[in-house]
Amino acid sequence: MLKTLKIIQFRRYQIRFQISACRLYSSQTNPNEDAINNFANLPVERIRNFSIIAHVDHGKSTLADRLLELTGAIKANSGSQVLDSLQVERERGITVKAQTVSIFHNYKNERYLLNLIDTPGHVDFSNEVSRSLAACDGVILLVDACHGVQAQTVANYQLAKNRKLAVVPVLNKIDIKHADPEKVCKDLKNLFGIDPQRVLKVSAKLGTGVPQVLDTIIETIPPPKVDRNSTFRALLFDSWFDRYRGALNLIYILNGKLEVGQDIQSYTTKKVYPVKSISILRPAETEVTSIAAGQVGLIAVNMRNSKESIIGDTLHLKNETCTPAGSFKPQQPMVFAGVFPADQSKHVALRSAIDKLILNDSVVTLKVDSSPALGQGWRLGFLGLLHMEVFCQRLEQEFGAEPIITAPSVTYRIVLKNPKMIKQMGTDTMEISNAALFPEPINIKEYYEPLVKGTIITPTEFVGQIISLCVERRCIQESSVNIDNDRMLMNYIMPLSEIILDFNDRLKSLSSGYASFNYEDHGYHLTNLVRLDIHLNGKPVEELCRIVHVSKAKDIGREMTTKLKETIPKQMVQIAIQACVGSKVLARETIKAYRKDVTAKLYGGDVTRRMKLLRQQSEGKKKMRSIANIQVPHETFINVLKR
């Protein structure tokens, strides 16, 4: 009995010690609790809003980790890339979705609020960067000290300068033995006119020089230009969907103050919503009662459909008049692909998964499509090939879907000349991304294809090979500039259809991984297109037709007929595979029929008997070929159509 009492007493002491330790730890790890409680009262002069922009894999998320650790937002050694919360981001080592976090930093005995936005670095997610910059007054331009200025670095710098944002240049990875900070500083001066003395040199992995970055942000980036004395007005610059709370909106307050319980109204849709909760991201959600001008916050307003959450919309108080804060030009999809279920019994489940994922990626467009070979499906529009791959990977990982993805294509523009078709459609211009809908050439006046403006930065030793690749892909050089003695920047006008599949892979292969590539939309231009049809024994197969440039038709025709010969199994009749443009055959392959030796049972005898049997077999095959349907397995269509 005494022993039991001693055990109970020991347990009580143990529990009391744990509780006191937790309280002590809580007091040590929450030094900013007072600042959060008085969040809305923080003076505008002590607020800094900034983004980290860089080329992919230059260390943005790692630098963000160090900034969060130094300011106490997360504990040291919490893990790498804390802000990269998606599984696809951690597996690929890239940032897909811009992430916002509010941190506090003490500078000269004053507490400052820093709103940090970690942005993606790949060109396919540049819309995330442009949206993020709308809520910023400055940026950290991060450059790898080993690889130097890359193509996306140039594009991001131009985005920041166009918005007249303050730029804090930072060199990362100076701890690596191959780093050359002096050379990279010269490149920054030659390209952007940045004084080498202003460039901060850090190692985000080790934390070297990172405290100086925080101080420089406060010294260089100006406070937001806002007015707290007027009525509430905010810019909605990001949103995502939560299955329990609906659409959550990330807003940047331009005027006034917002409190829980107030009613706000959308300037675009005129709908009114009650403010249910206000949070700041640290990076986990921390609820506050109010936020004021100059600050960034997350609000839940019972918005059930994310389509009501329009990026670039202005929010204001109910029954108040206001001027729009600004708008974003919605980015148009550039790459289209068909998405089909592997089994039609999973059609409903795949549709549900796509709908849910589009709620969190509103740039993706959706249109119902069908294929006699693959069944009912959808045609989805993406910003680029990586965007498409990430979307499909998220379908598999987050929803357990198993989609079949067809080869990506682009949208062509066609001007019609047939008066009957023009009257029927109500316009003389139509946009087509599905080759099966391509009109007959006799009805078409002009063809247009989408172009992009590409930027390539490469070591000079690979220039010749890269120029040959660009000529092969019908690219036109605009300019060529030497960054220094070892590297060159080249600008090209490129047909989008020539670069969406494997251009970047070929570029990396030719340059041993040292060249970088970035592109942006450049409109449409006049071209010459044809519809390439695939015929099996003279019968066209619509599922396999493609829209190609006239100069590429023969090569693509040979490639497709060869691939079909390898994938279509032998049958009882001979199969002629033809790639045709109109009535002209550009390429042909033949699959021989199964042949039985009908003379095997004859032992000796007259040769005329053998010839008679062979002639009968030949006539039978000919008759069978004239009436037979070619059985193309479902797997063959998948292998040919999928990327």
Interior angle at CA 285, CA 114 and CA 395, nearest 5? 110
279 is in an annotated binding site: no
Structure tokens at 151: 């193509």
349 is in an annotated binding site: no
Distance CA 56, CA 565 (A): 40
Q: With contact defined as beta carbons under 8 Å apart, do 264 and 240 qualify?
A: no
55 is in an annotated binding site: yes
118 is in an annotated binding site: yes
Q: With contact defined as beta carbons under 8 Å apart, do 642 and 543 qualify?
A: no
343 is in an annotated binding site: no
Phi-psi region of 37 (alpha: psi -120 to 50; beta: other; left: phi over 0): alpha
N- to C-terminal Cα separation, the chain: 74
Phi-psi region of 185 (alpha: psi -120 to 50; beta: other; left: phi over 0): alpha
In 3-state terms, what secondary structure has residue 553? helix
β pairing state of 285-288 and 314-317: unpaired
445 is in an annotated binding site: no
329 is in an annotated binding site: no
H or E segment to which residue 16 belongs: helix 2-29
255 is in an annotated binding site: no
Distance CA 172, CA 215 (A): 17
59 is in an annotated binding site: yes
Q: With contact defined as beta carbons under 8 Å apart, do 486 and 476 qualify?
A: no
384 is in an annotated binding site: no
Distance CA 309, CA 525 (A): 34
Give the closest residue to 474 by CA, choosing from 455, 500, 492.
492
Q: Which amino acid is at 155?
A: A
210 is in an annotated binding site: no
HSE-up (13 A, CA, CB side) for residue 81: 21
HSE-up (13 A, CA, CB side) for residue 119: 33
Q: Which amino acid is at 72?
A: G
Q: Which amino acid is at 3?
A: K
Q: With contact defined as beta carbons under 8 Å apart, do 85 and 397 qualify?
A: no
Q: With contact defined as beta carbons under 8 Å apart, do 614 and 599 qualify?
A: yes
538 is in an annotated binding site: no
121 is in an annotated binding site: yes
**Sequence ranges of the binding site for GTP:** 54-61, 118-122, 172-175
**Sequence ranges of the binding site:** 54-61, 118-122, 172-175
